[in-house]
Chain A
């Protein structure tokens, strides 16, 4: 193992998959000559050439659809959205074409495509550039959605996504691109299955269920709670869809208390689904109602103080944990 950044981990995943399979190509705005808006594709043009690392005009609907069409005839496109906020311009391709084709064709055309890019609020980008899209996309049958929080998970999940025979969205965490973590060396194949959560910290009093940018938040809060003798278990979902019910149920069965901290909005958010499944399947294991911490239900304000007020933060999470622990 060695320590690399989340960005490097993604870059390695792309390079390894491009190397492994000649049908894989990377396409998106500024992915080639500019080396990636967030430098995730740094060096790939030099290594793989313009046939496989392809700059596009600002045409999300067009190049997302191009990817789906290429996938219909056997290529394995990786389509980068500069951010998933811009994927909304390609919503029709991501929601109507990619996931429906397999069903509509009676199983003749599966779409092995990866849509990837940063997702979720960053710093003061305002309402149009701060979307957390995981709950919209996870609600669509036929799509798979993952949202890695660590360099290791980012690399392993992206590689798995590229090999999956379905459309997979890899929602990268913009605020975590420079974060570091231990990852296997490049000569050791690292594949992390979709639909498998990971317990990032063991605990006995409460399960904090989180993903992507809320994982470091939850870990930080867990350390603080430890000082108050509350032992929090951190369950990182990693994949939103398929959802690892078993890992959630195992943890909550042990702790009897659950808080979900998510980066999307509360109404129909990821936490709503998790919450429903817990109460439906292990109602008797619960010692307290489940709490959710999410964004506030407003378009993201630009103002820094207001933005902070909208986002999940340690105070909100600690308050929710204390409430379920009756502490």
Chain B
């Protein structure tokens, strides 16, 4: 694994820009009613997923909750396939059958996109079980929100992972809120990472607004897991700039709080680090941003022009053998 190389970091910066611009367009297209259902944006949290994927191999397993656009993009799913999924089109990463909350991409080892809070945490443990069962040295990255840590499924999954010593990193994206409920109002702990202690799982807190810190920590943990499988827990402290979903004005928090985090923006931070180290010029940054915007705009066009999933195939994706009972 290559750590801290310039090319990687600039690439990762452009991934973060792609995520940001994708989400902005998704929001706009939602307002234009091109996107249906629930839609949850990742803006503000980009350093978490970017840092995590930068630290692991392409064949490691990634699974997350419903705030999942970024995770698919980070895994290498094209902006076209992501936007088309939002539009419910046949060319979407889940053929238009999953929607915003259910992005899947087997080829890129993106295992969803899961919309029942914490229900995917046991799935992640099962994926890690399969890794160990086969004697592989992969790692499963399981992302979830601060809201997931009070669900039974989460607790059962952590216990199983610890009991069977499975190769999995539980990554809690603590953005301080589950919808309108702050962590203070949902969780009896001083800090979320202490949940891991109850299962004898090593846990650490990272600054989720800092790409480098996330990457370093995940790389270190992944290395240790590949040597000898075990679970690990990371609480990444981050913030979502937008409401919980498109319909949420986020009136449960103050403008000042939001501003405080915006000043700590993960993209601005990495950009500043790279600029200071003379690894990136302003012109190069502008160029990356322009590219991201163009990619996303092209994705909107692609999604708009893509066909609907055919009605005749309605029953084709219920049973793997096409059974119609």
In chain A between 255 and 302, which residues have their CB closer than 8 angstroms to a CB of chain B? Answer: none
A178 within 8 A of B: no
* Nearest CB on B from A321, distance (A): 28
In chain B between 106 and 120, which residues have their CB closer than 8 angstroms to a CB of chain A? Answer: 106, 111-114, 116, 119-120
Given contacts A96-B119, A166-B319, contact A109 B325 (CB under 8 A): no
Q: Which residues of A contact B152 (CB under 8 A)?
A: 61
**A56→B120 CA distance, assembly (Å):** 18
Q: Is the CB of B133 within 8 A of A106?
A: no
Q: Is the CB of B121 within 8 A of A144?
A: no
Partner of A106, one of B96, B124, B127, B320: B96
* Nearest CB on B from A136, distance (A): 16
* Nearest CB on A from B107, distance (A): 8
**A96→B312 CA distance, assembly (Å):** 24
**A94→B105 CA distance, assembly (Å):** 22
B144 within 8 A of A: no
Q: Which residues of A contact B130 (CB under 8 A)?
A: 69-70, 73-75
Q: Is the CB of B126 within 8 A of A65?
A: yes
A137 within 8 A of B: no
**A241→B128 CA distance, assembly (Å):** 31
* Nearest CB on A from B321, distance (A): 6
* Nearest CB on B from A239, distance (A): 9
* Nearest CB on B from A38, distance (A): 23
Q: Is the CB of B163 within 8 A of A70?
A: no
Most interface-central of B112, B120, B126, B325 (chain A CB within 10 A): B126
- Give a binary string over A51-70; 1 marks a CB under 8 Å from any B CB, 0 the rest: 10010110101111111111
Q: Is the CB of B106 within 8 A of A59?
A: no
Q: Which residues of B contact A107 (CB under 8 A)?
A: 95, 316-317
B153 within 8 A of A: yes
Q: Is the CB of B123 within 8 A of A65?
A: yes
* Nearest CB on B from A141, distance (A): 5
- Give a binary string over B214-234; 1 marks a CB under 8 Å from any A CB, 0 the rest: 000000000000000000000
Chain A contact residues (Cβ within 8 angstroms of B): what range? 35 or more
Chain B contact residues (Cβ within 8 angstroms of A): what range? 35 or more
Stretch at the interface among B15-23, B38-46, B154-162, B248-256: B154-162
- Give a binary string over B85-101; 1 marks a CB under 8 Å from any A CB, 0 the rest: 00000001111111000
* Nearest CB on B from A28, distance (A): 13
- Give a binary string over A99-117; 1 marks a CB under 8 Å from any B CB, 0 the rest: 0011111111110100000
Q: Is the CB of A166 within 8 A of B106?
A: no
Q: Which residues of B contact A92 (CB under 8 A)?
A: 116, 119, 153
* Nearest CB on A from B26, distance (A): 19
Q: Which residues of A contact B63 (CB under 8 A)?
A: 69
A124 within 8 A of B: no
Q: Is the CB of B160 within 8 A of A56?
A: yes
Partner of A69, one of B95, B127, B159, B163: B127
Partner of A105, one of B61, B98, B133: B98
Partner of A62, one of B96, B120, B122: B122
B104 within 8 A of A: yes
Q: Which residues of A contact B97 (CB under 8 A)?
A: 103-106
22 A-B pairs whose Cβ atoms sit less than 8 Å apart in the complex: A25-B133, A51-B133, A56-B160, A59-B160, A61-B156, A63-B160, A65-B156, A69-B129, A69-B130, A70-B127, A70-B133, A72-B126, A97-B114, A101-B112, A105-B97, A105-B102, A106-B93, A109-B112, A142-B319, A144-B319, A144-B325, A166-B323
| Chain A to chain B: the 10 pairs with minimum beta-carbon distance, closest first | A69-B126, A65-B122, A62-B156, A106-B95, A242-B325, A69-B123, A110-B320, A105-B104, A66-B126, A165-B320
Beyond the given A61-B122, A72-B123, A73-B126, please list 19 additional residue pairs across the A-B interface where CB-CB is below 8 A.
A54-B164, A59-B159, A62-B125, A63-B122, A63-B156, A66-B125, A68-B122, A68-B123, A68-B126, A69-B111, A69-B129, A93-B119, A93-B122, A97-B116, A97-B123, A105-B94, A110-B320, A142-B318, A243-B325
Q: Which residues of B contact A (CB under 8 A)?
A: 61, 63, 92-98, 102, 104-106, 111-114, 116, 119-131, 133, 152-153, 156-157, 159-160, 163-164, 316-321, 323, 325
